[in-house]
Amino acid sequence: MSRAIQRLTLRSFRGATEPVDIDLDTDKPLVVIFGENGCGKSSLIDGIDFIANGSYGSLMHRSVDGQRHPFLASLGHELDDIEIGLQTKEGGAWIAKLSNRQASVQRISNTGELPVVHVLRRAEILDIVEATPAKRYEALGRFIDVSSYENSETTLREALRNVAASLERAVARLEQASSGLENYWQTEGATGQSARAWAKTKSEEDIDTLKDKKATLKSVQQASTAVASMRTSYGRAISQERLARRRQAKVQEDLKQLPAVEGTEAVKLVALLREASPLVQEGTDISKCPLCLHKVKGEELRKSIADRLSALDEYVQLADRLLEADRSRDLRETARKNALDSLLEALTNLASAAEQVRGEMEADAEMALATLCDTLKQEDDEARASFIRAGRALSLYLAPLGDHMKTVAADLEKHNAIRVQYEALVTSEKNARHQEQLHRRLEQALEIVENTRKTFVDLVLISIGEECQALYARIHPGESLGKPRLTMHEGRRGSVELGGVFEDQTDIRPQGYYSESHLDTLGFCVWLAIAKRGKPEDTVLLIDDVFTSVDAQHISRIVNLISDVARDFAQVIVATHYRNWRDRYRLSQAPGLEAQLLELHRWTLARGISLSSTSLAVEELNAKIETEPLERQAVASQAGILLEALLDYLTLLYRRRLPRNQQNEWTLNDLLSACRKLCNQLSIERDAEPKKNDEEIDEEPDENEPETIAQIVAPFYEDMGQLSFVRNQVGCHFNLAGGEVSDGDVRAFGKATSALVGAIVCEQCGQIPSRRKGDHFACTCGKTRMRPLEYTG
């Protein structure tokens, strides 16, 4: 189904001060809207542009104080009142309103898609032809706009730059690692073929032995340190035990100095009284002494014990001190024994550790170790003392092994340093190689991505250029200019150059040499060629009064060109103030049956935009002939105009002679004289209408040879010629003879003229065959042919 526009409605939009509903004939590929200036042509075009493209249309090229949107609303209407409706042939329907200064389009039918709408205004022609290459690129952008692709191309360049930077850093690291290793190698004597080979060999050396040695020496050192520490602890424990014993002896001495009490040792008595106190404490029922079982008075006994203890206070304090001294001595003695055990254990460990480095010890150390081992399990005090002495000696003798351990640790550290530097070198080499490879491949990728884009765009531009050349040649055949060519600007993104031919110069800038009308047609051809590249079957072209500077001859070719290309598109809508454009269709000089003709009436504020359909001239004549009562003058005049238009066109087509005059105006008689002999030669051949299914077919039709109907024009011309006087006598002038002409003759003149036109004009497209093709003239649709090509007088 076609996306051709079937109905357009405007509410409060631009010139539509009153609602406008326009029904378009979607069976015809072309719509010609004629209207004098200020009738509302651009409002209609802008309405379609607004709903399809969200564009402000012709307002895009003008503004008041930088604002455009306020002028979208009709005079005296609000922006919120704007409503544009569009329906397509395939059943799609949409409504557009203005919301936040933008077109808000709402779909009101579930079928179809909005047509692709391309609008050509004079301003767009200037964008294409006279604008800067960058502006021209924007105008062509929708067909060659690969900006999305170019965004990704930009990020590819960024990736390449990133990798280049990484590669630079990797090379710097490699040089640093290489230089560091070289220095180290030189410091170490520069043995081997190279620093790298030396480092490789070194870093691959087995260092387990060194590690084991370091561990052994460390254990000896730790054991030796432990012995020293335990020895110190043991010495401290002995001192502390001695001190505790002295304190105990002092208390015992003090005790001996006190007199005995009650025939016993005072301290024992105090102890006894203290132990007895809880047995007779207050609240206990005591009737007998718990010791001697004699009857006692509890209260008295308690008092007696308390009094005696009070009297023995000095003894009580001494007893407490003695108790504390005894406990302290016991603790210190235990601590000394524990310290001794720890020292013995540390010495045992030292002996065990020292055994592993026996070969590296001095003779004295060997002897001390032997003594240590000999006395290891002996329990007597002398052997133990010997054991301790040997251990202390061994510990001292082993002290130099610490230096040995430092040497081993330094060897290990050096090995690690070489290994780390070598690994850094290897890693840097690997990384640099990887970055280099990645950089090279990204360069290849960028080259491919860039070239693909350039080729793509070049091909598109070449294709558009070729199409444009063909179109331009049709409007300007045989002229020494044209051959337009589009190229991307070298080295500048988003710029399109437009070149062409002028006289003997083959690559000029047309804007510097071509006339305004040639530039107009050039811009039109570029625009049309671009539009054909898209999906023309889904595309509606809008041409808004573009050709203001083009002469009649070129307009005729443009009309033919547009009529031809209209069939490729969903629809072509031409708005023009050029009356002859419309009349070419009315008078069959263009394919009038393939175009819907609309005429805009005078715009007023109260009525807004109004329009009506325009019939073909021959249809109007036929209608007038059938009208009762007969409008004699109207029929004679209409037939006369139609006849003059036909004959004038034929004289131009066949270059027939006409009498010269100042105004280049000829009478009907002049034209009749010029065409009489010509019409005797003219013959028309038409393709027959295809037969319907229910019609009987006698013979098998030849697929290559369509059935044709041949017709000579002469009889029709003769019929008309006999009545041509009617035009002057009834249709143009006052004279008495005109009154003598009967209604029948007037009708006959009208019918004869209509028949003559019908005999020549194509029944399918409504055009007089006028295109040279082989041995004949053909109409636009090619179904009607007229011969001969040349008049032979």
Binding site for another protein (CB under 8 A): 143-152, 155-156, 158-159, 162-163, 437-438, 441-442, 444-445, 448-449, 452-453, 456, 460
Answer whether 336's CB lies under 8 Å from 240's CB.
yes
- What sign for the dihedral angle of Cα 647, 653, 656, 659? positive
Q: Least CB distance from residue 191 to another protein, whole Å? A: 36
Token pair listed for 33 = 């809207």
Q: Are 202 and 213 within 8 A, CB to CB?
A: no
Structure tokens at 422: 């070598």
Residue with tokens 């399109």: 496
Among residues 264 and 452, whose Cβ is nearest to another protein? 452
**Measured from the CB atom, is 99 or 452 closer to another protein?**
452
Residue 19: both structure tokens together: 């609602």
Distance between CA 301 and CA 244 in Å, rounded? 39
Is the bond into 629 cis (omega within 30 degrees of 0)?
yes
Closer Cβ to another protein, 71 or 143, answer by number: 143
* Minimum distance, C-beta of residue 141 to another protein, in the bound complex (Å): 9
Peptide bond connecting 70 to the previous residue in cis, omega within 30 degrees of 0:
no
Q: Are 30 and 629 in contact (CB under 8 A)?
A: no
Are residues 726 and 749 in contact, defined by beta-carbon separation less than 8 angstroms?
yes
User: Which of residues 150 and 763 has its CB atom nearest to another protein in the complex?
Assistant: 150
Q: Which residue has the tokens 């098998």?
A: 700
On whether the CB atoms of residues 612 and 579 are closer than 8 A, the answer is no
Residue pair 765/591 in contact (Cβ under 8 Å)? The answer is yes
Of 36 and 466, CB closest to another protein: 466
CB 121 within 8 Å of CB 58: yes
Tokens of 339: 């310290």
3-class DSSP state of 7: strand
Indicate the SS3 state at residue 325. helix
Residues 6+ apart with CB under 8 A from 65: none
Residue 684 CB-half CA count within 13 A: 26
Residue among 467 and 670 whose Cβ is closer to another protein: 467
Residue type, 356: Q
Token pair of 555, please?
């307009």
CB of 497 to another protein, least distance (A): 19
Give min distance, CB of 160 to another protein, in A: 8
DSSP letter string over 345-385?
HHHHHHHHHHHTTGGGS-HHHHHHHHHHHHTTT--SHHHHH
Closest CA to 316 of 278, 261, 263: 261
DSSP 260: P
Q: How far is the CB of 150 from another protein (least distance, A)?
A: 8
Using alpha carbons only, how large is the chain's radius of gyration in Å?
A: 61
Tokens 């070729």 found at: 466
Rounded Cα–Cα distance for residues 423 and 200 (Å): 9
| CB 409 to another protein: min, Å | 42
- Identity at 112, one-letter amino acid code: G
CA-to-CA distance for 217 and 215, rounded, in angstroms?
6
Cβ-proximal residues to 354 (8 Å cutoff; 6+ apart), any chain? 220, 223, 361, 365, 369, 372, 394, 398
| Residue among 92, 342, 335, 375 nearest 231 (CA) | 342
Dihedral pair phi/psi, residue 291, rounded to 5°: -95, -55
Least CB distance to another protein at residue 219 (A)? 49
Q: Structure tokens of 619?
A: 């249809």
Token pair, residue 696, equals: 């009987």
In 3D space, the residue among 286, 253, 281, 258 whose CA is nearest the CA of residue 270 turns out to be 258
Q: How far is CA 523 from CA 14, 481, 517, in A?
A: 27, 14, 10
Closest separation in Å from C-beta 438 to another protein: 6
Instruction: Give the separation between CA 315 and CA 258, rounded to whole angstroms.
Output: 8
Nearer to another protein (CB atom), residue 268 or residue 440? 440
As measured in angstroms, the least distance from the Cβ of 136 to another protein is 16
CB of 8 to another protein, least distance (A): 26
The least CB distance from residue 543 to another protein, in Å, is 24
Question: In this structure, are residues 758 and 541 in contact, taking their beta carbons and an 8 Å threshold?
Answer: no
Distance CA 44, CA 10 (A): 8
Helix (H) or strand (E) holding 227: helix 208-256
